[in-house]
Amino acid sequence: MLESLPDTLHVLSIVLVPALLGIILHEVAHGFVAYRKGDPTAAAMGRLTLNPLPHVDPMGLLVFILTSLSSSFIFGWAKPVPVDVRYFRDPFKDMMQVALAGPLTNALLATLCAALMRLQLWLLPPAEWADAGAYAFALSSLYAGVSVNMGLCWVNMLPIPPLDGSKVLAYFLPAGMRMGYLGMERYGLVILVLLLFCGLLGDILMPLVLGGRHALLDVFGLTAYGLE
């Protein structure tokens, strides 16, 4: 745990914007793909917006703050975008595509943050700008954007209902197993929070998150700057 209020506020200020963008755009992506598949529910409820207020889930925000300050694995969530599968022509296939849209958006955001880090270091060499507070803050926020979005991508791909990975897995299951598997959703959040606070969630996800982050940084030549 951080020792002082300034340290706490500094960490939150670095991770807040990339985390909010990652969480909100994740949900907007679900709603947008559902809309393209014929479901107007999210659009009608005002959820296809970058305004954070319609998306904020108090418990998800609390978990985000707690993990930001006390854990190497930052985690949180927004209110799930409502999806009505009755509008879909092929409910399980279309739902699988809606589910994939969220993690793929996070992967794209992580890639964008890495690209912007490379651009910053190219346009503004560290040797000349290292002492500028705004320079270090921007670089730290972009680095956090890579890490947080990699985390959001992988955690949402876990096959635990109601996470996105469960919708993807359900599409490939035999028809007789799908509903029983997805019916576990009522226990999913409890399972996830228990895994988080007993440390198992981090043990499962950290190799994936760190491996994904390292691969992105390496692709953009950022490991040469000592960024891992």
Structure tokens at 149: 């979005």
- Asked if 73 contacts 175 with a C-beta cutoff of 8 angstroms, the reply is no
Q: Tell the burial category of 187 from Cβ atoms under 10 Å away from its Cβ (0-12, 13-18, 19+).
A: exposed
Q: Which residues span the domain enclosing 132?
A: 5-225
Contact between 27 and 79 under an 8 Å Cβ cutoff? The reply is yes
Amino acid found at 41: T
Distance (Å, rounded) from C-alpha 163 to C-alpha 96?
11
Token look-up 């028809």 returns 175
Backbone angles phi, psi at 156, to 5 degrees: -75, -15
Listed residue (103, 102, 116, 104) closest to 145, CA to CA: 116
What is the predicted pLDDT for the residue at 128? Answer: 86
- Average pLDDT by stretches of 10, the chain with 228 residues: 64 86 94 97 94 87 73 74 95 97 97 96 88 90 94 93 95 93 89 84 90 95 84
**Can you give the pLDDT at residue 89?**
95
Please give the tally of structural domains in the chain.
1
What pLDDT, on the 0 to 100 scale, is given for residue 228?
77
Residue in the structure block whose two tokens are 């479901």: 39
